Structure 1
């Protein structure tokens, strides 16, 4: 790894205007990426943004309690997700909706947790990706523990943990990196540096590039243009190969920008200027890959119309799954508290059922 890729200019393979960048180190890692793969990644980015837009609308309409938009971070998520194998395991924070889509999560299951009527959204065992982790940075320890177990089992997989720049200020993540290096665990620490930890800019959190922190823990790191889906794919391919081959953890810092609010309860106009947003909008990750496709004659109007239809269909499934989601019964409070049956839980379930039945009896007396 050349030092400049970690501490100098970030890796970039496609410029904002769609022109390719001559890179002899990382371009070979995506030499197999032809027109079909480029179109697939473009489609996934468009679908992810459409799902995100629909979820924000649902929250504004009172159908969701909260949503964490990913607007602007589609390339970082889709590019990295496309570098993973089916048996690799992903630990997410709360904004990786595009990664979930790429791993095969049904849009109808994406909002269960955010609607507040389920303990989780999907079955992680079916798609090898966890549900959203609300506690900032905690998933780093979970991923490291999983990777340590995988190493002991002799599994040649990569474990990827996603987090934001704000999470790098959390002790949990530092502890995770210490353990990962000490045990040689195959964890790819994937930082989406979107420049804002809610209202705190990255420069307040760290006086140096976040990728430099990896050296202090003893792991290699690469800084990549997070709005360049092809560069993200190349860098993540290198990182996961490093992990699968038993070489230990790897740190990726994807420089991107959160163009929306931190969550739907946030007002970003209070802490950032329109000029900042305008500057990053000119680097829009979807526009960049579309310009590449158009410049190289790899897509036509029919293709883009088909992508729009696919995205609209996915959004419809997300909306239908949300509004038709049944409210759980009160007794569901006691489900999944323990992995196996527990006598205390069963006792509490029975007592609560009797308590609820008392209200039913009172209502019956009133009607009489």
Structure 2
């Protein structure tokens, strides 16, 4: 019968669906390479990787891993204030990024530095942002790892969880109205999916038929809260069909599977002008951030077991089996990347800070009275206490 909410069939059986009455099995998890780096026989691979693309993906994954390791150590040395790694999630970032184009807009959370790197953001630019120096496009006004790039179609990261998701839907709806053959990729973690913004975004995306790809990194932990305490349903992917959204669950440690899932999702979203959801099942191998000690809420054995499934080494083994990668290349790459990352950090650390006056610019065309008062107060304070302002931060 047709109801205002849709056409539904009648039944004479008294039968509940879901919850403790759940009869359907969990959604499958798509993979093409197993945990040992061996290709899964008969796997559906509609978008096969060429040697050049696969090697570029691997180089980017190693670069991301090297960046995270050295930047994390640098924060611990007190060189800058904060950092977050993407350890264990490299395949999700690089695999999805490789399937997108620069015409596609990205709204990320804060473990997608690999996506930005793939698009062309340099190691030095990342170091400049973390140090907040005069070369930082954000002029030192953002927290470290809150990257952004207008040139690379990557919206600046904000700290509050899930705020980027409704924004991504709005941007996707704009693409639809302009008839541009592109999508918006919206990244978030399973913890962010507990926020109201996630549900609002999913509902708007479906009712507006917006070409947005929701990419959830289900890494098992929302800081210290395990995924088992975040939801009772079938993960995040189980929510997609309920909203009327095409959905797939993918092995987030399999870069080839993530690439194929994202490429197919993009194709579907562009051709049908509709949203798609991808849940990438992975594991956060590192701490939530440099402000966290994950050993306080998860066991050493758990972390060791997952680190043994390193997505980077898993992809490398697949490349080696195809004779697309050799040990000599591996050693040369890691040595060169380590040198490049250290040089980027040294350069960023030596650069001057932005002028103090930049604290008050760019929001308004003309400085309003209340900001003018604040600016005058700051400048007077610095004049009385010059030691409060770093010598490399000019006062204008």
TM over 0.5: yes
Partner of 1:95: 111
- C-alpha distance in 1, partners of 2:169/2:147? 22
SS of aligned partner of 1:27: coil
Shift of 1:82: 0.3
Deviation at 1:278, TM superposition (A): 2.0
Report the counterpart of residue 364 of structure 1 in structure 2.
none
Residue 241 of structure 1, CA deviation: 1.3
Going by fraction, where is helix more abundant, 1 or 2? 1
Partner of residue 365, structure 1: none
The residue aligned with 1:13 is 32
In 2, distance between residues paired with 1:61 and 1:325? 18
2:382, 2:83 → 1: CA distance? 35
Q: Is the 8 A contact 2:27 2:238 kept in 1?
A: no
Contact 1:66 1:115 in 2 (8 A): no
CA contact (8 A) 2:169 2:204 kept: yes
Equivalents in 2 of 1:357, 1:54: separation in Å? 34
Q: Give the match for residue 8 of structure 2.
A: none
Say if 2:148 and 2:157, in contact at 8 Å, map to a contact too: no
Residues 54 and 319, structure 1, Cα contact 8 Å, conserved in 2: no
Instruction: Give the Cα separation in 2 of the matches to 1:225 and 1:128.
Output: 27
Residues 1:63 and 1:224: Cα distance change in structure 2 (over 3 Å): same
User: Does residue 331 of the first structure (1) align with residue 357 of the second (2)?
Assistant: yes
| Aligned residues of 1:219 and 1:250 also touching (Cα < 8 A) | yes
1:318 pairs with 2:344: yes
In the TM superposition, what is the alpha-carbon distance from 1:198 to its structure 2 partner? 0.3
Q: What do you get for the CA RMSD once the two structures are aligned?
A: 2.2
CA drift at 1:273: 0.9
Cα deviation, residue 114, structure 1: 4.0
Distance in 1 separating the partners of 2:123 and 2:56: 18
> Which residue in the other structure is 1:184 paired with?
209
- Count of matched residue positions in the alignment of Structure 1 and Structure 2: 352
What residue in structure 1 maps to residue 20 of structure 2?
none
8 A Cα contact 2:361 2:367, kept in partner: no
Partner of 1:169: 194
Tell me if 1:136 matches 2:136.
Answer: no
Q: Which moved more, 1:223-232 or 1:343-352?
A: 343-352
Q: Secondary structure at the match of 1:163?
A: strand
- Distance in structure 2 (CA, Å) of the matches to 1:122 and 1:210: 26
CA distance in structure 1 between the partners assigned to 2:26 and 2:247 by the alignment: 9
Structure 2 match to 1:145: 170
Q: Distance in 2 between matches of 1:286 and 1:102?
A: 15
The SS at the match of 1:137 is coil
Alignment check: 8 A CA contact 2:27 2:237 kept = no
Which residue, out of 254, 258, 269, partners 1:228?
254
- What is the 5 A alignment of 1:86-125? 86-115=102-131, 118-120=140-142, 124-125=149-150
2:321 — aligned with what? 295
Quick check: 348-357 or 240-249, which moved more?
348-357
In the alignment, structure 1 residue 155 sits paired with structure 2 residue 155: no
Contact 1:110 1:122 in 2 (8 A): yes
SS of the residue corresponding to residue 41 of structure 2 reads coil
Does the residue aligned with 1:148 lie in a helix, a strand or coil?
helix
